[in-house]
Amino acid sequence: MDILFYLAGICLIHQVIFALVLFLKRANSRANRMLALFMLIFGGVHLDDMLILSGMAWKYHFVNEAAHFLFLFLGPLYLRYTEYMTGIRVRWRKRAWLHILPFTAGAMYVLYLAFLPENKIQEFYADVRTRPPAIHLLLNFFTGLQMGVYLVWSLRLVKRYNLRIRHRSYYHELNLRWLGVLTVWLLLVCYVIAPVLLVWADTNAVALYAFQPVMTTAIYLFLLYRSVNFPGNAYEQELIRQEEREKIRRDIHDEIGSGLSRIALLSEAAKAGKSDASRLMAGIAEQNRKLALSLRRFVDTLGRKERPE
């Protein structure tokens, strides 16, 4: 138990430091703030584990209640993080019931413990160390299912994003395959590993307290490397603008250049008197009109590309 206590403490310290790094990082700041909150909630779970393992949880039982309630925010925060990473908007209001309904289970858990007498709270947390009560396991199982829904949603956003940029020159630099792999791993945790551990915890809670630090350490180390080094959606937009400018430059060179060459040829023919002058002048006027329309179109296109998203 002492080893598990110190392991949870080390994870808590690392995740708080990681969250601070993310809050201070300017590039891709919105996504990093969501990820920082995601990791801080995981840190709260480790704080709760430390209190349980030390036998002090019953004195500070509000930490356990807050941790389990905040755990329900992990799914929405992860989806929000994915939304900012991909730049694909999520219609949150359209499925408001899906976001609100799970919190009723967390509220019931908080109310259940709030009305227990002190001696019952001591008994409850004494059981949590060795064999978690049914309500504790049920809430953890429900929370895992709820997070899984958001992970599937996030995985769909990542696939859409990768499909959208797969033909871009910067695909290898900005693809989010790593986020897809992480999301699949988290789905495996929610729907396979966690349920097995919750069943196992019914007879041996040590397995649950040992797995949580190992899992979160692997997640935060992976995310620390990827999130800090990923340039973000704003960088992608800048690359897109650069590509569009290059395309417009080529189009101007080809279309305007050929038009000017045509005018030069017609002018030379008119000077030499090789053909009907009125027909040549009409051709020059037509080329001028086409060039003016092309320039206007290029200017309008460039103006739209330069406007902020």
Q: Are 157 and 82 in contact (CB under 8 A)?
A: yes
> Is 190 found in the same domain as 282?
no
Helix or strand (DSSP H, E) at 200: helix 194-201
Region 230-249 average pLDDT: 67
Q: What is the pLDDT of residues 261-275, one digit of tens each?
A: 776 766 766 666 655
> Is 247 found in the same domain as 196?
no
> Is 191 found in the same domain as 45?
yes
Minimum mean pLDDT range among 105-114, 116-125, 179-188, 251-260: 251-260
> Is 147 found in the same domain as 132?
yes
Whether residue 213 has pLDDT greater than 60: yes
Cβ neighbours around 176 below 10 Å, total: 20
Confidence (pLDDT) at 52: 80
Higher pLDDT, 233 or 54: 54
Helix or strand (DSSP H, E) at 77: helix 74-86
> Is 257 found in the same domain as 110?
no
Residues 6+ apart with CB under 8 A from 290: 259
Region 96-117 average pLDDT: 84
Region 110-126 average pLDDT: 83
Q: What is the pLDDT of residues 292-303, one digit of tens each?
A: 777 777 667 666
What residue numbers bound the domain in which 52 lies? 2-231
In whole angstroms, what is the distance from residue 136 CA to residue 25 CA? 37
3-state DSSP call for residue 232? coil
How far, CA to CA in Å, does 159 sit from each of 28, 86, 140, 170, 234? Answer: 20, 10, 29, 16, 19
pTM confidence score: 0.73
Q: Which amino acid is at 20?
A: L
> Is 220 found in the same domain as 290?
no
Among 231, 250, 285, the domain-final residue is 231
Q: What is the pLDDT of residues 146-187, one digit of tens each?
A: 899 999 999 999 999 999 888 877 788 788 888 999 999 889
How far, CA to CA in Å, does 229 sit from each of 22, 42, 123, 143? Answer: 11, 22, 47, 31
Residue given tokens 């180390």 in the structure block: 221
Region 215-232 average pLDDT: 75
Confidence (pLDDT) at 136: 76
